[in-house]
Chain A
Amino acid sequence: MDNQSTGNHHDLRSSPVPENIEQTDSPPIDLKDPALAAFLAWLIPGLGHLYQGRRAKAALFFVCIMGLFVFGLYLGSSNEQCKDGKGKIGYGRAVYFSWKKGERTWAYLCQVCVGLPALPAMIQASRMNHHKPVWWGGFMAPPRPKPCNDANKDQPTLHDLHRVLNRYFELAWVFTTIAGLLNVLAIYDAWAGPMTTTPGGKKEESTESD
């Protein structure tokens, strides 16, 4: 295969592709090191494409994915006080990590696909679990458990988040989760290049054989 002889030069016109895939608009793409590109694409949306010199797509992925993620963080934020009046709700509350039984945040598995922007949640969860005060005003910190007398007793409970943020908590959750899932597509694109189907999704008759 050409890819082996020319490094990771992804010439979509000359390389054998499945019969339902056709490249009509794609120029040859130099994927450089696909593993590194995929890692960079995970780290910051669009960074892997920037590394490969695909600047337009890098900008598109960054704006779309980070735009959704930041909008989700904004929706999951509030300056209102908790019910007991001890502290504020804070920012980015829809993205948090908790792996305690009964409180597992499966959505975080999607949100963390955005990469670095979602990683503060891991730090905050670690600090909360070790009864240390969370940082950054509770940004991406998990809600505190109800009986809580440690340094995080001013943090909101899950009930506070739902009461104050209301439906915006769910919206924020949806936006940040979609952003993470979209970055999975971007990571794959950085790894393997675009996958183009024939117009209308019809399979093209092919006599191509390996």
Chain B
Amino acid sequence: MFNLLLADGSRLWNNDLWYALPAIVAVSLVYAATRHERMRPIWLHAGRVAGWIIGFMFIVCVVLVFLSWMT
């Protein structure tokens, strides 16, 4: 199943999912900045938020790959 994910490195590199990266960074930082005043807690909170977003996206990705593999 995961061969589908890793079959073609160039396809992975050229994947449109990379466009999510700037959005994730900006959303995490801005959200964290509205919860703290000092920079260190902002960075730490932003890291946690980014982790949650990426984790959620990964789970959705795995579900979609699994469904694709099933069909």
A residues near B (Cβ < 8 Å) are 25-27, 29, 54, 56-57, 60-61, 64-65, 67-68, 71, 167, 171, 174-175, 178-179, 182, 185-186, 188-189, 193-197
Contact = CB atoms under 8 A, between A and B. Distances in A.
Given A60-B42, A167-B16, A26 B30 contact: no
Given A67-B22, A71-B22, A167-B16, A26 B37 contact: yes
Contacts of B41: 25
Interface of B: 16, 19, 22-23, 25-27, 29-31, 33-42
Contacts of B16: 167, 171
B26 A67 contact: yes
B26 to A, nearest CB: 4
Contacts of A67: 22, 26
Nearest to A189: B34
Given A25-B37, A26-B37, A27-B37, A178 B31 contact: no
A205 B22 CA distance: 38
A129 B38 CA distance: 47
A175 B26 CA distance: 10
A82 to B, nearest CB: 25
22 contacts: A25-B40, A26-B36, A26-B37, A57-B42, A60-B29, A61-B33, A64-B30, A68-B26, A167-B16, A178-B26, A179-B26, A182-B27, A185-B30, A185-B31, A185-B34, A186-B30, A186-B33, A189-B33, A194-B33, A194-B34, A194-B35, A196-B36
